[in-house]
Amino acid sequence: MTVPSAALVELAHSYGVATEFTDWRGERREVPQESVAAVLSAMGVDVSDPAAALEARDQEPWRRTLPACLVLVEGRSRAFPVHVPHGDPVVVDLHLEAGGRRQVAQLEHWVEPRRLDGELVGEATFELPADLPLGYHRLRAHSGDGRGGLDATTTVIVTPAWLGLDSTGSEQRSWGFATQLYSVRSRRSWGVGDLADLSDLAVWSGALGADYVLVNPLHAAEPVAPMEPSPYLPTSRRFFNPIYLRVEQVPEYVDLPAADRRRYGTLAKRVHERLDGSDVVDRDTAWTLKRTALELVHRVPRRAGRELEYRSWCRRQGQPLQDFATWCAIAEEHGNDAREWPEELRDARSTAVADYAAAHADEVELQTWLQWLLDEQLALAQSKALSAGMSLGTMHDLAVGVHPGGADVWRLRSTYASGIQVGAPPDPFNQVGQNWSQPPWRPDVLEELAYAPFRDLIAGVLRHAGGVRVDHIIGLFRLWWIPEGRPPSEGAYVRYDHEAMVGVLALEAQRAGAVVVGEDLGVVEPSARDYLGRRGVLGTSILWFERDDDGRPLPAERWREYCLASVTTHDLPPTAGYLDGVHVRLREELGLLTRPLDEEVAADEAERESWLDEVRSRGLLPPGADSEQTVEALHRYLTLTPARLLCVALTDAVGDRRTQNQPGTTDEYPNWRVPLSGPDERPMLLEDVLASDRAVRLARAVDPAGRQRAAR
């Protein structure tokens, strides 16, 4: 391995690229020079002469009048520089989002001018006051002494100091179910759990006292088969997956002509014959048949009022919706990976793309219509949840990134780093590291755009939700960038402006009245957890992972208050399977262990037993307890913690044992294709869940005060 030169190291640090890191064993590791150079190149940096590149980097702020973006926390002031020709006067004012204008005061602060390209550039210092309202404001600087002058603007973002649970009005502890929605199939859904199933699940959960249902990411997938099974590798995070639509809930369905209704019946019969009872979630078959059914409904004329509503909604969504719909239309003809399209169609802003959209206006319109239906059915699911007594309702999951050939990368190409994939360095559970095959956002471009793509994303996810779980929230602080062609172990951490990212997240959540839960598991800097806690973003605590500095189970009283606490997570087997050690055997079968099986089994058994001893010490686990009793005891332990949100995996509620996802694999294991199953590992339907006494008993374990709103 070649160690980077001192000049390259300094250049890397100026762009937030780490040249070393501490691995999961606590050992310091150097990042190879080749990886550092590749990461910088992906940011548009010329690394052939690091010294020259560093000098250019140092001059960047002086070559612009105002910073690219200014983010501050409510109640705090912020000083910032303004660069103008030396000696020129400058006036700065702030145009507020809600209207009105504020003069911005200049500070007495002398900075030596610099000579750039033969001209002296001066720096004046101004200060944004501490009493600015929350929101997105516009800052303007204008100067001149009769020689023409200049006029520059930038965005000022004022973010909440604290989010927490205040916006939900919840004063007490809440709990809810977590589920992979696609796996929760009912008799009426077409092989994949849908938004009508979510509504029914929410009503049932609310009756048991739950305040939320956390679902897997519902982000948009490919418009035609083959469809990526992982909800964490979507084509777009901004839009939703129409596979979750319930066709019969589309108002125009009732007006299907007789011939189309017969054809619809044939499609429904085919999907149920092929998928009911299947031991695998077959998205391709489900979506292909559902898509045909939706096309039948799409042909039904909308009444005048609904047509006006639809057109108004499309206008509000603007260019992002049109771009996404255009991508889907092109993908239907040229495939789901935009990197393989004809060259002239790879640029979303090209004339060829505009011509294609015009020539295929019907296909584009179908895609916008599907997103409108999703908006309606998501709104209905949230309304049903709140009407059932939930304080939060639907809690969405936000994936880390998107498919490299998908719609988001295509329409926002300049915001993504090319030749880079996001992942994670080796850790105890994935000892060869992980490559998630997703391109990262460029932190420099996000700042230039005043975080508009991120703002739009969060607002869209929270439009009909009471909360969002941010997968790998540490990605708002730093991401593990892996140059293409290199193993996950040879990546590098790249830092983001976490104050801006977390601030925008909190601002959009406050506007939506939503709670934010950050998945902060794995290799996480303690300072990042502390920062999230200070901003009122809840963390994630998984019982098996909660240990003190000596490796002993962390006593309940020492758990975090502002966190979502659960026994398990979707990257582990359901608790019944975990207790049986199925995760160790599975990783051995897949070649994911780096030490002998006997050692891994012994270590795993010791870790599990230490937690069971802790639960026994609280009198929660009787001698000779069976699997169900043990699962209930582990969940009762959660109630001893101060955690504000408790989470019950629906798989645990029904006694499922099978792993939903094995990190570090793709097709070696049927990740994200395992239907909800009972203790016998046979698929079960939502109707069986709603009649499950076992699920009710587990709900009572986390709700010992008996807050159930309706007794069975």
Query: Residue 664: which pLDDT band, with cuts at 50, 70 and 90?
Result: confident
Res 64: pLDDT: 96
Whether residue 587 has pLDDT greater than 90: no
d(CA 508, CA 379): 18
Res 583: pLDDT: 86
| Average pLDDT for 15-28 | 89
| pTM of the complete model | 0.95
Please report, for the chain, the start and end positions of each structural domain, with discontinuous segments joined by +. Answer: 6-60, 75-159, 271-363
Q: Where are the alpha helices (DSSP H) in 335-406?
A: 351-359, 361-387
Parallel, antiparallel or unpaired: strands 420-424 and 478-483: antiparallel
Structure tokens at 524: 């996480």
Whether residue 25 has pLDDT greater than 60: yes
| Average pLDDT for 518-533 | 91
- Helices 452-461 and 498-512 cross at an angle (nearest 10°) of 30
Res 147: pLDDT: 55
Whether residue 3 has pLDDT greater than 90: no
d(CA 376, CA 540): 30
d(CA 597, CA 585): 8
Q: N- to C-terminal Cα distance for the chain?
A: 64
Percent of the chain surpassing pLDDT 90: 87
394, β-bridge pairs: 213
Parallel, antiparallel or unpaired: strands 28-30 and 20-22: antiparallel
d(CA 339, CA 342): 9
d(CA 132, CA 139): 12
Is the sign of the CA dihedral 255, 259, 260, 266 positive or negative? positive
Q: Which of 248, 348, 358 is nearest to 293 (CA)?
A: 248
Task: Centre a 10 Å sphere on the Cβ of residue 389 and count the other Cβ atoms it contains.
Answer: 16
Res 523: pLDDT: 75
Res 10: pLDDT: 96
Task: Determine contact, residues 23/29, Cβ cutoff 8 Å.
Answer: yes
Structure tokens at 189: 């859904």
Task: Determine contact, residues 397/469, Cβ cutoff 8 Å.
Answer: yes
Whether residue 634 has pLDDT greater than 90: yes
Least confident of 120-124, 165-169, 640-644: 165-169
| Average pLDDT for 354-369 | 98
Res 429: pLDDT: 65
What is the secondary structure of 446-498 as a DSSP string?
A: HHHTTTHHHHHHHHHHTTT-SEEEETTGGGGTEEEEEETTS-GGG-EEEE--H
The alpha carbon of residue 4 and the mean position of all alpha carbons in its chain are separated, in whole angstroms, by 33
Residue type, 620: L
Least confident of 264-273, 512-521, 642-651, 658-667: 658-667
State phi, psi for 585 to the nearest 5 degrees.
-65, -40
For 446, the 3-state DSSP assignment is helix
82, β-bridge pairs: 124
How many residues in total does the chain contain?
712
Q: Who has greater pLDDT, 25 or 508?
A: 508
Task: Determine contact, residues 98/137, Cβ cutoff 8 Å.
Answer: no
Res 711: pLDDT: 40
d(CA 203, CA 567): 23
Query: Can you list the positions of beta strands (E) in 164-220?
Result: 174-179, 212-215, 219-220
d(CA 212, CA 619): 29
Please name the fold of domain 75-159: Immunoglobulin-like (2.60.40)
Structure tokens at 240: 């939703």
Residue type, 371: Q
Task: Determine contact, residues 421/436, Cβ cutoff 8 Å.
Answer: yes
Residue type, 295: E
Percent of the chain surpassing pLDDT 70: 97
Residue type, 387: S
Structure tokens at 143: 């100067």
Task: Determine contact, residues 534/76, Cβ cutoff 8 Å.
Answer: no
Whether residue 564 has pLDDT greater than 50: yes
Q: C-alpha distances in angstroms, 124 versus 20, 105, 108, 131, 140? A: 37, 11, 9, 22, 14
Task: Determine contact, residues 412/404, Cβ cutoff 8 Å.
Answer: no
The tens digit of pLDDT for each residue in 230-239 reads 999 999 999 9
Please tell me whether the peptide bond between 425 and the residue prior to it is cis, using omega within 30 degrees of 0.
Answer: no
| Average pLDDT for 663-673 | 87
Task: Determine contact, residues 704/639, Cβ cutoff 8 Å.
Answer: yes
138, β-bridge pairs: 95, 155
The tens digit of pLDDT for each residue in 339-358 reads 999 999 999 999 999 999 99
The tens digit of pLDDT for each residue in 403-461 reads 999 999 999 999 999 999 999 888 776 777 888 899 999 999 999 999 999 999 999 99
The DSSP element (H or E) to which 220 belongs, if any, is strand 219-220
Res 710: pLDDT: 45
Q: Which of 420, 542, 390, 545 is nearest to 490 (CA)?
A: 420
183, β-bridge pairs: none
142, β-bridge pairs: 91, 151
| Average pLDDT for 587-604 | 86
Q: Who has greater pLDDT, 581 or 611?
A: 611
| Average pLDDT for 573-591 | 90
Scored b (16 or more CB within 10 A) or e, 513-526 reads ebbbbbbbbbbbee
For 492, the 3-state DSSP assignment is strand
Average pLDDT, the chain: 94
d(CA 600, CA 428): 11
d(CA 427, CA 434): 9
Task: Centre a 10 Å sphere on the Cβ of residue 584 and count the other Cβ atoms it contains.
Answer: 20
Structure tokens at 107: 């500070």
